[in-house]
Amino acid sequence: MNKIQLASHFLATHLNQFECPVCHSPFIDVAAGTLRCSNDHTFDLSKKGTLFFLNAPVNTEYTDEMLRNRQQVLTSGFF
């Protein structure tokens, strides 16, 4: 089993312990790595099997420029 399948199995087993963060209705289904509530709000599992209930983007200190520079350092053979 891969991480998404393991997480899906865990969620299906413990589905009654979760509720939708948008409408607070119960989750009714876990299929193909997607958790769905009774009002059709969906939340996808990440490749690592993690489930995020974020409704809006999160502010972060990371900028695109910083990430590009970091990638350049990492691929230049510096490390």
- Give pLDDT tens digits for 49-69: 898 888 778 888 889 999 999
71 pLDDT band (50/70/90 cuts)?
Answer: very high
| Angle (CA) 6 12 16, round 5° | 140
pTM for the whole thing? 0.65
Distance CA(11)–CA(61), nearest Å, equals 32
Q: Nearest to residue 33, comparing CAs of 7, 10, 57?
A: 7
